[in-house]
Amino acid sequence: MALKDILVYLDQSEHAIERLHLAADLARRHQSRLTALFVRELSPVQRHQQSISELGQGSAQAISQTNRQIRHSIDESTERLQSALQQIRRQYELEVEWRCLDGVGSIIVPQHARFADLCVLSQDVSGVSTATGYTFSEELLFVAGRPVIFVPARGSFKTLGQHILVAWNSSRAATRAVNDALPLIERAEQVTVLAVNPAQFAKRYGALPPEKMVEHLRRHGAQVTGVWLDDISAESIADAVQAEALKVGADLMVAGAFGHPRLWEKLMGGVTRDLLARMQLPVLMSY
């Protein structure tokens, strides 16, 4: 299995180019086509600036000046990212495509993600909810129909998928995430399967022991080890999983996502929310 189409969503943040390099390195290793998508929309900071300008009873000239400054900033980001993509194309000898669109990212990105094998984007730390009540990251996860790698908004990351930690609990969501991550798992140098409180899960749901997942992934050619953590409280699971991932040197975590997108109820699982809110390393999720 291989990834043939990778989409990376870029924004105006200072880490966008680093995210572009991570996606490009992944595309190089999988001989994939890389599409960089940039949506020309106002950032939360720019929306705030615009609101202050318009509500502060400033002059029409002052409001116009604020809008020009915002447009100029977006233009600069567009040129900077497009230039970085062309440099990456030469450096990695990749097939790349630049897509620059006007509109709303939460509407545009899912449509483009559906035509990729994998979508790479930043963790959403704005706290701004979409019309559905979810953040942009949460909504994309549920509506795109594709696996998503979230890169933390803070911190520096050099690689994706060389050492993968699989957060395993025998659930449907974890199973879907592992299956979607198989192209990465098969090419990883090391894979760690982590099960938290496995005896409790087996007792409650009749789940098979986590050793079965270790065996399954080994049949895909991966170098796999298993780690089991016991007596972890429910509210500490997300932190314990990330701490173990950092301890073993993982550069990517694979985790299932829990939620109920059909009714758009606020039923996203607590561990999923905790991982998205406090992630310390890139996380692949799918639903």
Q: Which of 85-105 are b and which e, b meaning 16 or more Cβ less than 10 Å from the residue's Cβ?
A: beebbeebebebebeeeeeeb
H helix runs in the chain, sequence order: 16-30, 44-55, 60-92, 105-113, 136-143, 172-180, 182-185, 198-205, 211-218, 237-248, 270-278
Q: Is residue 173 part of a domain?
A: yes
What pLDDT, in 10s, does the model give residues 131-161?
556 778 878 888 899 999 999 988 899 999 9
My answer on whether 227 and 271 are in the same domain is yes
Q: Is residue 270 part of a domain?
A: yes
My answer on whether 124 and 198 are in the same domain is no
My answer on whether 125 and 199 are in the same domain is no
My answer on whether 113 and 59 are in the same domain is yes
Tally of domains within the chain: 2
My answer on whether 187 and 125 are in the same domain is no
My answer on whether 43 and 90 are in the same domain is yes
My answer on whether 56 and 194 are in the same domain is no
My answer on whether 130 and 167 are in the same domain is no
My answer on whether 209 and 130 are in the same domain is no
Q: Is residue 210 part of a domain?
A: yes
My answer on whether 33 and 139 are in the same domain is yes
Please tell me whether the overall predicted TM-score, pTM, comes out greater than 0.75 for this model.
yes
Q: Of 131, 151, 171, which marks where a domain is finished?
A: 151
My answer on whether 176 and 134 are in the same domain is no
- Tokens 């939360």 locate to 44
Q: Is residue 209 part of a domain?
A: yes
Residues contacting residue 48 through CB under 8 Å, at least 6 positions apart: none
My answer on whether 25 and 138 are in the same domain is yes
Q: Is residue 156 part of a domain?
A: no
Domain around 95: 5-151
What pLDDT, in 10s, does the model give residues 2-23?
899 999 999 999 899 999 999 9
Q: Is residue 128 part of a domain?
A: yes
Sequential pLDDT tens for the chain (287 residues): 689 999 999 999 989 999 999 999 999 999 999 999 999 999 888 888 887 777 665 677 778 888 889 999 999 999 999 999 999 999 999 999 999 999 999 899 999 999 999 999 998 755 555 555 677 887 888 889 999 999 998 889 999 999 999 999 898 889 999 999 999 999 999 999 999 988 887 777 788 999 999 999 999 999 999 999 999 998 888 899 999 999 999 999 999 887 544 443 444 456 777 787 888 999 999 88
Other CB atoms within 10 A of residue 8 CB:
28
CATH number at residue 41: 3.40.50.620
Q: Is residue 157 part of a domain?
A: no
Asked if residues 9 and 120 have their Cβ atoms less than 8 Å apart, the reply is yes
Could you give the CA distance from residue 285 to residue 113 in angstroms, rounded to a whole number?
14
Q: Is residue 158 part of a domain?
A: no
Closest CA to 238 of 268, 274, 283: 274
